[in-house]
């Protein structure tokens, strides 16, 4: 793939300006992880199922991007959705990631533990779709919680059936992508269905977990007043858990990756939202009582 050792300049969901994000990140790629040696294909599949290994695209250390404080963000490989605005299509296939053992991941967290404590940070699993490797992610979270490290899951919730209530116990915060407010647009934007996102939001709320909602604003695609109203109504279903909603303006920083992978990029000429549209959407969410960033 040729991308696994790159520094990451953006995360797919925050859609941050690249310079700003780059100045907030350290490390990157897959430095510091040894690949498990001596595992044949069958062993790997078994280890994947038990969560003894996970396929990782890359990781970085960042501040105030993927959760509170200084965080180690691990980008897992594999995603069942195909969002039109995906910033990281190089994370779609699990096999393009590198196998990392549970032990190596836990040791890495241990190494940064003091930094996490000092900055009130912790570990974030992102992707790809972090839930695609639910066993690995939840076992790392469990170990992190035993060390007193804050845990954050960045997900669309699409695979929430794979994430048991017991696994949810070890999540402190969820960055929940609500990609659209109605089925038709959701399908158009992601190729998937909306119901699992709503279900996961409700399950998190029931378990008393915190949620930061993320909504990518794409003019003409997710921007209609009706769609935004529907997203707000969805968030109302787990309102007590929602700390704020991040409205993320679409931009074109991901285009180069689609080109690099020779994938036809459906939003080639898409523009980002103007100031007026951003203001309107912010006010719409605020009128439902949400704090909006
Ligand atoms: S859910 Fe998957 S396809 Fe959608 S933006 Fe995230 S990584 Fe890309």
Pocket mutation for ligand 1, best pick of 13, 126, 128 (most atoms within 8 Å of C-beta): 128
Name the domain count of the chain.
1
- Residue 34 maps to a domain: no
Asked if the structure places residue 9 within a domain, the reply is: no
* C-alpha radius of gyration, the chain, whole number: 18
10 falls within a domain: no
Residue 146 confidence (pLDDT) above 60: yes
> What does the pLDDT look like over 67-77, one tens digit per residue?
999 999 999 99
pLDDT at 32: 62
Tokens of residue 133, six digits = 């490797």
Distances (CA, A) of 55 to 1, 74, 113, 131, 203: 14, 10, 23, 12, 26
The pLDDT of 277-292, averaged and rounded, is: 98
Is 40 inside a domain boundary?
no
Separation of alpha carbons 291 and 243, rounded Å: 7
Mean pLDDT over each residue of the chain, to the nearest integer: 89
Please check whether residue 95 is in contact with residue 262, taking contact to mean a CB–CB distance below 8 angstroms: no
Q: What is the pLDDT of residue 44?
A: 82
Segments forming the whole domain that contains residue 153: 54-286
Element (H, E) at 28: none
Residue 77 lies in a domain: yes
**Distances in whole angstroms, Cα of residue 145 to Cα of each of 56, 117, 132, 173:** 21, 12, 21, 12
80 Cα nearest atom in ligand 1: 2
Q: Which residues line ligand 1 (CB under 6 A)?
A: 12, 79, 81-83, 86, 88, 91, 127-129, 156, 190
Please give the number of the atom of ligand 1 that sits closest to the Cα of 79. Answer: 2
Query: Is the pLDDT reported for residue 16 higher than 90?
Result: no
Residue 291 falls inside a structural domain: no
Q: Examine the pLDDT at 26 and tell me if it is beyond 50.
A: no
Q: In ligand 1, which atom is closest to the CA atom of 128? A: 7
Mean pLDDT of 272-277: 98
Atom 8 of ligand 1: nearest residue by CA position: 86
| Residue 37 lies inside a defined structural domain of this protein | no
Amino acid 242: pLDDT? 98
Kindly report the protein residue whose alpha carbon is nearest to atom 4 of ligand 1. 83
pLDDT in tens, 259-269: 999 999 999 99
Question: Rounded distance, CA 54 to CA 48, Å?
Answer: 6
Closest CA to 152 of 81, 211, 200: 211
Closest CA to 8 of 24, 156, 48, 198: 24
- CA dist 57 and 21 (Å) reads 18
Which residue has the least CA distance to atom 5 on ligand 1? 86
8 A C-beta contact, residue 199 and residue 163? no
| Assigned domain for 154 exists | yes
pLDDT level of residue 40 (50, 70, 90 thresholds): confident
- What CATH number does the domain containing 259 carry? 3.20.20.70
Q: Mean pLDDT throughout 214-228?
A: 98
CA-closest candidate to residue 197, choices 221, 176, 216 = 176
Q: What residues are paired with 292 via a beta bridge?
A: 245
- State the virtual CA torsion across 126, 132, 134, 139 in degrees, nearest 10: -50
Q: 3-class SS at 124? A: strand
């Amino acid at each position: 793939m040729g991308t696994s050792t790159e520094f990451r300049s953006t995360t797919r969901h925050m859609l941050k300006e690249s310079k700003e994000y780059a100045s907030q990140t350290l490390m990157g790629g897959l430095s510091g992880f040894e690949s498990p040696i001596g595992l044949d294909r069958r062993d790997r599949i078994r280890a994947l199922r038990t969560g003894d290994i996970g396929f990782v695209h890359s990781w970085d250390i960042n501040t105030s991007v993927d959760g509170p404080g200084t965080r180690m963000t691990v980008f897992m490989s594999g995603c069942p959705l195909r969002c039109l605005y995906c910033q990281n299509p190089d994370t779609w296939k699990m096999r393009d990631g590198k196998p990392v053992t549970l032990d190596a991941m836990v040791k890495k967290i241990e190494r940064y533990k003091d930094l996490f404590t000092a900055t009130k940070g912790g570990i974030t699993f992102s992707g790809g779709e972090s839930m695609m490797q639910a066993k690995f992610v939840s076992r790392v979270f469990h170990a992190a919680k035993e060390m007193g490290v804050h845990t954050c899951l960045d997900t669309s919730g699409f695979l929430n059936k794979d994430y048991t209530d017991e696994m949810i116990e070890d999540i402190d915060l969820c960055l929940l992508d609500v990609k659209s407010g109605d089925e038709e647009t959701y399908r158009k934007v992601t190729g998937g269905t909306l119901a699992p996102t709503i279900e996961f939001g409700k399950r998190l709320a029931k378990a008393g977990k915190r949620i930061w909602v993320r909504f990518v604003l794409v003019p003409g695609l997710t921007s209609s007043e009706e769609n935004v109203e529907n997203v707000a109504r969805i968030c109302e279903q787990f309102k007590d858990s929602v700390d704020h909603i991040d409205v993320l303006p679409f931009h074109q920083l991901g285009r180069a990756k689609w080109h690099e992978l020779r994938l036809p990029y459906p939003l080639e000429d898409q523009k980002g939202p103007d100031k007026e549209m951003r203001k309107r959407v912010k006010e719409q969410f605020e009128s439902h009582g949400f704090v909006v960033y």
